[in-house]
Structures are given as C-alpha cells and as structure tokens.
Structure 1
Amino acid sequence: MLKNLDLDLLKNNKNWIVILLIFILTIGILRIFSGTNMPITVVASSSMEPTIPTGSIVFIQKIEGSKIIVGDKPIGDIIVYKLPNTKVYDFFIFTIYDPPPILHRAINKVEIDGKYYILTKGDANFLPDFNQNNPRSWISEDFVIGKLVWYVPYIGYLVLWLRNPLIIIGIVLFIIIIILLPDKERKV
C-alpha cells in the first residue's frame, strides 16, 4: 500500500518536480551570467516610484565601483546594495539578506584611499540615504551587489505576499491536504 502511494505521488507530482528543477536551473544560470549571488530581487518599498513601482521584479548585474554612473534622475545608475551590518544566508543557489538590500539611485561618488564610496537616494525621497558632507558615511563599493539592468513591474507582488508567514502556512497545509486526498475525492 505504502509503495503504491509513493509511486502515485511521484507520478502525480512529476510536473511540479520538473518545474522546480527548471526554476533552480534558471536561478543558477542567472547567477553565473549576472556575476552576483542575487541576480533577481523584488522592490518592497515605494522609494523609487514612479521610476520603478513597488512589487517590480528587478534583474541585477555586478558592477565595479569605478564604473557606477552617478547623477540625478534619470542619469545615475540604480544600484542594489546591502548595509554593513547585513547578515547573508546562502542556501544552495539562493541567497537571503537580513535586512533586505536597498535599491536606490547613485547620485555621487568619491574615491578615498583607492576605494569608491557612493551616495544614494531613492527617486521618491527628499534626502539622500547618507550625510552628503561625509563621504566616509556613504556606501562602500564593497557593499554594492550590482546595478539594475531590467525590471518587470508589479509581478513581484506575489513574492511580497509570500513573505507573510501565515500565507506560507496556509499554502503548506493546502498542499498537504491535496497530496493526502484520495484520487476519487480530488476528481469531484
């Protein structure tokens, strides 16, 4: 009985396994070609609106500090950076940052002792992220994950929605119920 159940589960879930493998392969390929461990992220705040709407999925490519173009909207590069106290967790091909990285426009940069420091600002914000008069307080190029190369508006809302633990618990319970339901009850 258990052996038949295992085979049935595998047959019924083969498509999901293929989709999961394609997803993992795609993330792996994006990591290789983007040069960064975070080739995709979702915009969770409105600080870059209307340029990049909340809920957009953004694609990121690694960039050196010397190549970052600075300037006000629309000239400066939009970069993704982590804060100095960020914890980084790597799981297989996925990387999680706590707190999440920030996506803002590079508006100025200086080179100090061979290292670039970048001043950033959200397009919707009135003030820069750091003290304009103290370049050492700006984000070091060591913390820049990459620059935005492309984005798709709004479809990232699903990811933002899935960050809610109650939603995750509900989905897991739903999947368990579907898997454990006998075939006769599923077809009804």
Structure 2
Amino acid sequence: MYICVDNIEGGIINKKDIIEWVVFLLVLFLVWSHVNVVVSNSMYPIMKRGDLVVVKNAYFEFDPNNLNVGDIVVYNAHWPLYQYNEIKGTISIDNKSFLVFGGEKTRPVIHRIIGKLNIDNKTYYIIKGDNNPTYDPELVSSSQIRQKAITINGKPLVIPYIGYLSIWLKSHVYLVIILLIILYLYDHFRAKDKEEKK
C-alpha cells in the first residue's frame, strides 16, 4: 500500500518509510530524554564538561519528593539567570542563607543533594556541585527537580565527551541553520534540473 506524497525527487513515499521515520524519531526522543549534557566542571572529577549523564525523568520514573542526600539531580535553577529573575529576599536555615527568587527564567543544573528539608509539608533540597566551594544559592523545591542521575555502585552512569557535540551545536546554531538551508537549496535545484532534463 502506498501513500501518494510527492517528495523532492518526484517519487512516492510509501507507508513503510513513514513508519521507519516515526520509529526513528520516537527512539531518538526516548534516548535524548534520558541523557543530560554536562556544561561545566562543577561536578569534577565524577563528571566533566562535555560528558553525557544517563538520567531518569521526574514523575514518570521517580518521585522528586523522595530523593536522598547524595543523589545527583538536574533541576531548574534560577540563580544562573539572576539578572532576569527578581530576588525577593533571603531565607536562613541551619546557618545557611538562600536567595528567594521570583520569575520563571531557569537553566538546568546537575548537582548533588547535600541536605533535605520539610517546610510547611513541602520538600526542599540543599544542592551543591562536588567541585564548588559552597552550596547552590537557592533552596530547591521538589517541583524544580527534572531528572536524577542513574548510578551503578554509587557512581553516575557517564558517557565521556559525547556531549561536546550538543555544546558545539548550541553555540553555533546559526551555522547549522545556514548549512541546512544550503543543503535544502542544493537538493531543490538538483531535483529541478533533473526534471528539466527529462
């Protein structure tokens, strides 16, 4: 059975091709949603900039209210984008001071839980990068937790260096877009030229 959709080459795309593309995209999505790219050395030596860390997703694969001290998590942090978020004040707990942010601008950060608190029946975490001299400047609510690193024998499952590709693509996205446009135009004019020669 064929679905009559003309492609650039003037042929027909069959149902099998469509199914293969859908399966490929689903697998790509599932794989990509279970890795996190490390963009700094704040967790050195267990993970470095450019590493991929294999992770589980909050709510689907674990409950972010039931994490433990020592777990490595990815959370939506306000403090890296402090200039875009209002600082509403500070809160002091156990001789530690934390900033209280207003605003929605966040950046994912992968650090380790070093403390767990229950305030007004809500779970909060104190989080720190292993290589950082002090804890992160905000008290992290369980709703900010996105992912948790998968560990084997207490060590996170890390794939070294592969994340550099993602880091490079993000910093050179305009080059990727230009390259895709050039490839599209090349294919388009090549197909048009073939048509004219028929």
Q: What TM-score, normalized by structure 2, do the two folds share?
A: 0.62
Tell whether the 8 Å contact from 1:82 to 1:145 is kept in structure 2 after alignment.
yes
SS of equivalent residue, structure 1 residue 109: strand
Q: CA deviation at 1:140?
A: 0.7
Residues 1:179 and 2:187 aligned together = yes
Residues 1:159 and 2:166 aligned together = yes
Specify the structure having the higher radius of gyration (Cα). Answer: 2
Matches within 5 A, 1:38-49: 38-49=33-44
Q: What TM-score, normalized by structure 1, do the two folds share?
A: 0.65
The CA RMSD over aligned residues, in Å, is 3.7
Tell whether the 8 Å contact from 2:37 to 2:50 is kept in structure 1 after alignment.
yes
For structure 1, the 5+ residue unaligned runs are 32-37, 71-75, 87-96, 131-136
User: Which of 36, 51, 55 is equivalent to 1:60?
Assistant: 55
Tell whether the 8 Å contact from 1:59 to 1:151 is kept in structure 2 after alignment.
yes
Tell whether the 8 Å contact from 2:78 to 2:107 is kept in structure 1 after alignment.
no
Cα–Cα, structure 1 residues 127 and 17, in superposed 2: closer, same or farther, change >3 Å?
farther
Aligned residue number for residue 143 of structure 2? 142
Cα–Cα, structure 1 residues 51 and 83, in superposed 2: closer, same or farther, change >3 Å?
same
SS of equivalent residue, structure 1 residue 162: helix
Tell whether the 8 Å contact from 1:9 to 1:179 is kept in structure 2 after alignment.
no
Aligned residue number for residue 94 of structure 1? none
Q: Deviations over 1:145-166 (max 9, x none)?
A: 1211133121011111111232
Q: Which structure has the highest helix share of the two?
A: 1
Cα–Cα, structure 1 residues 53 and 66, in superposed 2: closer, same or farther, change >3 Å?
same
Cα–Cα, structure 1 residues 138 and 28, in superposed 2: closer, same or farther, change >3 Å?
same
CA distance in 2, matches of 1:154, 1:19: 29
CA distance in 2, matches of 1:144, 1:50: 23
Aligned residue number for residue 77 of structure 1? 71
SS of equivalent residue, structure 1 residue 60: strand
Name the count of aligned residue pairs. Answer: 155
CA distance in 2, matches of 1:180, 1:7: 7
Aligned residue number for residue 112 of structure 2? 105
Determine what percentage of the aligned residue pairs are the same residue.
28
Q: CA deviation at 1:110?
A: 1.1
